[in-house]
Structure 1
Amino acid sequence: MKNKNFILGIVNGILFFFSATFISSSTILPVFISKFTSSSFVLGLVAAIEATGWQLPQAFVAKYLEDKKYKKFMYIIPSYIRFGAIFLIAILTFRVINISHYLVIFLLLYSIYLLGGGVAGISFMDIVSKVIPPRKRGSFWGYRMGIGGILALMGGYAAKVILGEVAFPKNYALLFLIASISVFIAISCFSAVDEPPEMHIKKKRSYKSFFKNGIDVFSKDKNFKTLFIIRALYALFFMSIPFYIIYIKSSFSLPDSYVGYFIIAQMTGYVLSNLVWSRLSNRSLNALVIRLSSICLFLTAISTILGVKFVVNYLFLLVPFLFLGMGITGMNTGYLNSLLAIAPEENRQLYLGIFNTMLVPFLISPPLAGYVIKYISYTGLFIFASVVAISMTVFSFVLNK
């Protein structure tokens, strides 16, 4: 059963990783949305929806699941709803008639897709913590991201061909359709995982009591507080992510097909760095993973500024996305495994739910990036992002203690 769960969980991650290639908020979606509006606020709003959709419902779901012996049902139902949302986006994109109406419907369905992930997320993480032992979690996330990254490399090439050869908007509709099929298979795989019963079932308590306990955890658990600060800073860095590709693409008037090259560069960063992150995480060196990935995020911002101002070859424009891939996969591996390690088994739902929901005020920051760009500049936004990344590096030393 353990091997079955391990394999199904890995296949689930591989396919979700592959699907993310075609609906990426750092490459595909910013360029797609820019076809409908030039508003930096709307571009930032898409990133904010992605960030908050996963985090917002988790404390409420965690409280609801506290007294449940099995939790997989709360993964299955919202996950298939999110499949329906992304599938509808694909179908509607094939026949865009009214641009303003379509954009509103897209944002609504995209919100449902991500909120569904947030509702399912607590059950997913809880099941992973029960069926994957700590010594294998680094490998678990590593295989998901590593093999998924290799598939995503092929997906990047496919995206390049589709964007270059198929007319708009059918090219993007086809990308979304591929993503929806991959999502459906991924959900079906994890739905087949054998969930063991919960060993520490909590008695029902009020939301007031639940959140009060969460505040107590934040004030008393130093590692929890430090990890939260790092993750909050990462959320602030996230506000810059949709704008790297927009800045580079507009600076050199690059065609949409070049997006495929940026995806390939980002996925190469995922795959190569994942070989390092998974090994370090297996040795419980998650603070070091966070530290090194924060440096990669710093280099993303700096290399974007230097690349546009001093570029001598278009290949140099791929460097920021290489570092971005390294930084994102490292942060996701490092902070997720750190959180699972910090959370006591009997309070796992409380730790996961409170941690993620408390992040929401920081996760709604991406639309503010539009105002930074408008009143300062793209360079100002990326300098801010680099300072945030360095701050994450500093706090990782505190976490290590």
Structure 2
Amino acid sequence: MQDIKTKDIENFVARYYKRNFIVNALDMAFFNMGSTFYSTSTIFPVLIKNLGGGNIHIGLLPAITNLGWTIPSIIGAKMIEKLPRKLDFILKWTIGERLPYLIIALLLILLAPSNPTLTMYISLSLLFIAALTGGILYPAWLDYIAKIIPPAKRGTLFSVGFGIGGVMGIFASFLARQFIEVYRFPYNFFYCFISASIALGLSYVFIALAKEPDLIVNSDDLSLTQYIKKLPDILKADRNFTLYIVGRIFSALGSMGIGFYTIYSLKVFNLGDEYAGVFSAFLLSSQTASTFLVGPLGDLKGHKLVLSVGILSLLMGYLGLIVGISPWTSYLAFIFLGINFSTFMTSGMALLTEFAPAELRPVYVGLSNTLIGPFSFTAPIIGGILANRIGYKSMFLIAFILTLLGFFVMAFLVKEPRKTQ
């Protein structure tokens, strides 16, 4: 292991900047492409339906991903806070967020024909493992990026990586449509998941080529109990942050209908399963294009404004589904959903960092994830139950009302943090 002293970090970063920029951009791009082949918004719901699953099983998809992405990040942050180098940790743990999709591909060939129900439950369990690992890894990955990419270049890296990944994802979505349309079940989904595994494998190769300096981190040696005890004090002292949490909770509850966009659209407009790939293309096209815009807009006008626009876009998507009269209203719903995803992916994280002073930033992130995570987890399950009992449109209407409350709190009650400091 190369020992790099703190005073030599800048020289190390400058020396390997081009290499690290290229390999990490390609890592993001291929990871994004791989995730398109198993998209939990479009591809995975149709797979669950073909394996015999119902609305509750489909509702588990966003619930699993939300739970995995939010709750474990607190544990992940504690695990890596004193590691001098994060890349070794990432390379070991990221296998857990990539290998499950290869296993699912094999299950579709070896087990699905004889026992589709068991295949469905194992696939959901593997998705949870992948999401859980991703949640643990997120603090390490973001800290690793911050170490090897200068602050003025990080936005460019994310734009290039996710931008190229978005273009590759659009291609992957059309390829997924061809797989689903041309080949019979389960081979059509086998090709989707094996393609995802190949893309994720290439992503792993590129991130393994990165160079990261060693850096000794000095931090308070707090136990998990002490860490948790500090959290209520922040809510009492920071009213604006508390309102932000309330707005995010309403928005999380309002997201209960997202996992049913595809299934509802296929059913109400009598479309074939191959249209899941078309929906994915609209989603990714919108998300890719808006990602290039929302980051600079947030830097210029404020990330609270951009996040409010993202919540508003989800409202517009629900409205399109509720009053929809043709497949084009579903296409518009996925376009608005892409905008929603891009704003939360960029300004959602940026706004959270603006609330917190530097020394409390990990605590703010942990508190936010802990409080919002349970609502993100339960919302789609509630959505599935409501869809079964009162129908899709009524469920979408309830989701619309909850999202509207989230928009009101975020747009009119939460103050832009940069203006209050």
Equivalent residue, structure 1, for 2:237: 220
Contact 2:37 2:193 in 1 (8 A): yes
Any idea what the Cα deviations from partners look like across 1:43-90, whole Å, max 9, x if unmatched? 111221111111121112212323333333332211012222121111
Any idea what the Cα deviations from partners look like across 1:150-199, whole Å, max 9, x if unmatched? 11111111111111111111111111111112122223333443334456
Q: Of 75, 92, 110, which aligns to 1:60?
A: 75
TM, length-normalised to structure 1:
0.91
Alpha-carbon spacing, 1:59–1:45, altered in 2? closer, same or farther (3 Å): same
Contact 2:303 2:351 in 1 (8 A): yes
Contact 1:122 1:352 in 2 (8 A): no
What does residue range 73-152 of structure 1 map to in structure 2 within 5 Å? 73-95=88-110, 96=112, 97-152=114-169
Question: Is residue 263 of structure 1 aligned with residue 258 of structure 2?
Answer: no
Question: Is residue 186 of structure 1 aligned with residue 203 of structure 2?
Answer: yes
Alpha-carbon separation, structure 2, partners of 1:395 and 1:119: 30
Alpha-carbon separation, structure 1, partners of 2:160 and 2:251: 23
Contact 1:137 1:282 in 2 (8 A): no
Contact 1:270 1:325 in 2 (8 A): yes
What does residue range 202-281 of structure 1 map to in structure 2 within 5 Å? 202-281=219-298
Alpha-carbon spacing, 1:201–1:192, altered in 2? closer, same or farther (3 Å): farther
Any idea what the Cα deviations from partners look like across 1:255-310, whole Å, max 9, x if unmatched? 11111211111112112222321321343721122121111111111011121xx3
Alpha-carbon spacing, 1:222–1:138, altered in 2? closer, same or farther (3 Å): farther
The residue type equivalent to 1:123 in the other structure is: A
Alpha-carbon separation, structure 1, partners of 2:66 and 2:109: 26
- SS of the equivalent of 2:83 reads coil
Q: Of 304, 307, 329, which aligns to 2:342?
A: 329
The residue type equivalent to 1:26 in the other structure is: S
Equivalent residue, structure 1, for 2:6: none
The residue type equivalent to 1:387 in the other structure is: I
Contact 2:56 2:381 in 1 (8 A): yes
Alpha-carbon separation, structure 2, partners of 1:42 and 1:142: 34
Alpha-carbon spacing, 1:63–1:391, altered in 2? closer, same or farther (3 Å): same
Q: Of 379, 389, 399, which aligns to 1:385?
A: 399
CA RMSD of aligned residues (A): 2.2
- SS of the equivalent of 2:90 reads helix
Contact 1:25 1:47 in 2 (8 A): yes
Comparing 279-288 and 296-305, the one that deviates more: 279-288
Any idea what the Cα deviations from partners look like across 1:81-131, whole Å, max 9, x if unmatched? 222212111111123221222122112211111111111111012223334
Equivalent residue, structure 2, for 1:349: 362
Contact 1:5 1:131 in 2 (8 A): yes
Alpha-carbon spacing, 1:213–1:8, altered in 2? closer, same or farther (3 Å): farther
Percent of aligned positions with the same letter in both sequences?
27
Equivalent residue, structure 1, for 2:189: 172
- SS of the equivalent of 1:370 reads helix
Alpha-carbon spacing, 1:189–1:212, altered in 2? closer, same or farther (3 Å): farther
Alpha-carbon spacing, 1:391–1:147, altered in 2? closer, same or farther (3 Å): farther
Any idea what the Cα deviations from partners look like across 1:14-65, whole Å, max 9, x if unmatched? 2222112111111111111011235211111122111111112111221232
Contact 2:72 2:135 in 1 (8 A): yes
Any idea what the Cα deviations from partners look like across 1:326-351, whole Å, max 9, x if unmatched? 11111211111222344444344333
Comparing 11-20 and 220-229, the one that deviates more: 220-229
Alpha-carbon spacing, 1:306–1:198, altered in 2? closer, same or farther (3 Å): farther
The residue type equivalent to 1:164 in the other structure is: E
Equivalent residue, structure 2, for 1:158: 175
Contact 2:94 2:134 in 1 (8 A): yes
Alpha-carbon separation, structure 1, partners of 2:205 and 2:410: 37
Instruction: Quote how far apart the aligned CAs of 1:214 are.
Output: 3.0
Gaps of 5+ in 2: 1-15
Equivalent residue, structure 2, for 1:394: 408
Alpha-carbon separation, structure 1, partners of 2:26 and 2:356: 26
Comparing 193-202 and 47-56, the one that deviates more: 193-202
Alpha-carbon spacing, 1:284–1:182, altered in 2? closer, same or farther (3 Å): farther
TM, length-normalised to structure 2:
0.87
Contact 1:231 1:335 in 2 (8 A): no
Equivalent residue, structure 1, for 2:381: 367
Aligned length: 397
Contact 1:139 1:278 in 2 (8 A): no
Alpha-carbon spacing, 1:272–1:67, altered in 2? closer, same or farther (3 Å): closer
Q: Of 212, 216, 239, which aligns to 1:195?
A: 212
Alpha-carbon spacing, 1:124–1:343, altered in 2? closer, same or farther (3 Å): farther
Alpha-carbon spacing, 1:11–1:30, altered in 2? closer, same or farther (3 Å): same
Alpha-carbon separation, structure 1, partners of 2:390 and 2:381: 15
Alpha-carbon spacing, 1:65–1:227, altered in 2? closer, same or farther (3 Å): farther
Alpha-carbon spacing, 1:33–1:194, altered in 2? closer, same or farther (3 Å): same
Alpha-carbon separation, structure 1, partners of 2:398 and 2:278: 26
Comparing 128-137 and 267-276, the one that deviates more: 128-137
Structure possessing the higher radius of gyration over alpha carbons: 2
Question: Is residue 11 of structure 1 aligned with residue 32 of structure 2?
Answer: no
The residue type equivalent to 2:63 in the other structure is: A
